[in-house]
Amino acid sequence: MLSSIIFLPLVAGALLAVPAVPDRVARWTWIAVTAAEVVLVGVLIARYETPADGDLAFEERARWIPSVNSSWHVGVDGLSVPLLALTAVVFSACAVYGLREDRRPRQHAALFLALQSTCMGLFAAQDLIVFFVFFDLSIVGMYAAIAGWGHGRDAGRSALQFFLYTFLGSLALLLGFIGLYLAADPHTFDIPELVAAAPLQDHPVAGGFVLAALLLGLAVKTPTIPFHTWLPPAHTDASAIGSAVLAAVLLKMGTYGFVRIAMPAMPDAWRGAAWVVLAVGIASVLYGALVALAQTDVKRMIAYTSINHMGYVVLAVGAAGLLGTGTAARELAVTGAVTQMVSHGLITGALFLLAGVLHDRTGSYAMRDYGGLARSAPVWSGLFAVAAFASLGIPAFSGFIAEFQVFAGSIGTTAWAAIALPGILITAALFLRALQLLVTGLPGGRSIGFSDVRAVEAVPVTGLLLLSLAIGVLPWLLLDLITPASAVLVDLVGR
């Protein structure tokens, strides 16, 4: 079943690459395939039963590269199922939003279907080579999305910067994977085997170098400071769909790598680096919020809030490595980190789609070009207000559940985590400022004559926000999946 979920979009994308396929057929095929993916993942969740410690659900294995003991090995647990669901939902929303795309719609649909396969494959991968292949292919897909369908004057340069920066990170990641492979006896790239053996447990020097390579590769993708500089130009010049997928799904590949590979396979080294990871998380939270507050471009502002929000995840996984504190607190921090990955994907995906409406109507993201949109575009303004309040962590939305768990768990392990708390206040200030500039007052500037969102734009945004609301009101629906896997991960880190 997992292989079908992974490869269905790729097969459909390959068929759409045939030039004879009409654009209209391509658009609706894209929607149909992403809807099928939502249904398939829904069936997977309905049939999912929490596996025993160290086991996986829906596991599949096939012979692939026996000379290096690498196989097609996929499977899921409570850390990966939520991200598979997030990927299916975000790509489905983007497919609906993509009905408005008139630039090479057939190739556009084929590209994003292929990109969806890489994301699904990465979150199900249980072999380091499989993980790396999907990691690298996602870089190629996003490069093509920015360069081919970006709308900024510097789209080509931003795409190249994104590619070179993240590809360099992937090379560091590959170096770390090779280090793990060589340390294992027998040599293997199989993730569950590496987690069970923890091959560098008694080799602090080698373990430190390998973990440094993994952290570098994953930190670039997350991104954390100081490896974030590719993110603002990539978002500014990408299309609305490109930005939504980049922020909602691709950024999670870095943080998912922390919990899937770096923490359980290298527990000793992770504990040794926990304070450094925690400090980077705190710095990312505060830096991302402060720089976002200084932005006058709404899309760059949202981009910098991604650094802030992903900093919460880094903060939590760093706290999870601090032994000598309560196990329950560390489990709560990890649960909050995974919840934050899902929450950020839903809310920030909606924000980027709404920002795309501004550019589509007027060609400008500058907040001071607008004002009074509540009168000229009440539906857009209402959706943006809901998304902004959800992103700043107001109760009833998923952001509150995630941030509450992150801070309760992290501060429960160390009071130093409280240094990041002002990030919440700054985030609230920057979103309220954006609402004042864009929505309130009398219509002026580009707001005059601004047409409100169409159904094809409002439906996907509303769907993402309703899911965030559902998690905020009924968080146990998500937490029942994540919590058992978080407990297993914390036990593995404490070995």
pLDDT(63) > 70: yes
What helix, strand, coil percent values describe the chain, rounded to 5?
75, 5, 20
Per-residue pLDDT band at 416 (split at 50, 70, 90): very high
Are 345 and 249 spatial neighbours (Cβ–Cβ below 8 Å)? Answer: yes
Within 10 A of 297 (CB to CB), how many other CB atoms are there?
18
pLDDT(88) > 70: yes
Predicted local confidence at residue 293, as pLDDT: 93
Predicted local confidence at residue 14, as pLDDT: 94
Q: Which tokens in the block code for residue 354?
A: 């709404």
pLDDT in tens, 257-272: 999 999 999 999 999 9
**Gap between the Cα atoms of 193 and 189, Å rounded:** 8
pLDDT(325) > 70: no
Task: Report H helices in 184-250.
Answer: 191-197, 204-221, 231-237, 240-245
Contacts of 352 (CB under 8 A, 6+ apart): 235, 240, 243, 244, 247, 248, 299, 302
pLDDT in tens, 112-157: 999 999 999 999 999 999 999 999 999 999 999 999 998 877 888 8
Are 270 and 211 spatial neighbours (Cβ–Cβ below 8 Å)? Answer: yes
**Gap between the Cα atoms of 457 and 459, Å rounded:** 6
**Gap between the Cα atoms of 400 and 385, Å rounded:** 16
pLDDT in tens, 40-51: 999 999 999 988
Within 10 A of 86 (CB to CB), how many other CB atoms are there?
25
Predicted local confidence at residue 1, as pLDDT: 84
Please report, for the chain, the start and end positions of each structural domain, with discontinuous segments joined by +: 1-494
Over residues 8-24, the mean pLDDT reads 92
Q: Taking the model in full, what pTM does it have?
A: 0.94
Predicted local confidence at residue 128, as pLDDT: 96
**Gap between the Cα atoms of 168 and 163, Å rounded:** 8
Give me the percent of the chain exceeding a pLDDT of 70: 100
Q: Looking at the chain, how many residues does it have?
A: 495
Predicted local confidence at residue 230, as pLDDT: 87
Within 10 A of 116 (CB to CB), how many other CB atoms are there?
32
Report residue 76: phi and psi, to 5°.
Answer: -135, 160
Name beta bridge partners: 72: 62
Name beta bridge partners: 57: 76
User: In terms of Cα–Cα distance, which of 330, 295, 291, 332 is closest to 308?
Assistant: 291
Peptide bond into 223 cis (omega under 30): yes
**Gap between the Cα atoms of 343 and 403, Å rounded:** 10
User: In terms of Cα–Cα distance, which of 462, 158, 484, 473 is closest to 338?
Assistant: 484
CA atoms within 13 A on the CB side of 175: 19
Predicted local confidence at residue 106, as pLDDT: 93
Mean residue pLDDT of the chain comes to 92
Q: Which tokens in the block code for residue 160?
A: 């190249």
Are 326 and 352 spatial neighbours (Cβ–Cβ below 8 Å)? Answer: no
pLDDT in tens, 94-107: 999 988 888 899 99
Within 10 A of 276 (CB to CB), how many other CB atoms are there?
13
pLDDT(54) > 90: no
Within 10 A of 255 (CB to CB), how many other CB atoms are there?
26
Are 105 and 22 spatial neighbours (Cβ–Cβ below 8 Å)? Answer: no
Predicted local confidence at residue 231, as pLDDT: 87
Tell me the three state secondary structure of residue 448.
Answer: coil
**Gap between the Cα atoms of 127 and 124, Å rounded:** 9
Q: Which tokens in the block code for residue 345?
A: 């994907």
Over residues 304-327, the mean pLDDT reads 89
Task: Report H helices in 363-454.
Answer: 373-376, 378-391, 398-413, 422-438
pLDDT in tens, 466-489: 999 999 999 999 999 999 999 999
Among 78-92, 158-172, 333-347, 463-477, the minimum mean pLDDT is found in 158-172
State the chain's maximal CA–CA distance in angstroms: 70
Predicted local confidence at residue 310, as pLDDT: 93
Peptide bond into 226 cis (omega under 30): yes
Predicted local confidence at residue 324, as pLDDT: 67
- DSSP secondary structure code for residue 190 in this structure: B
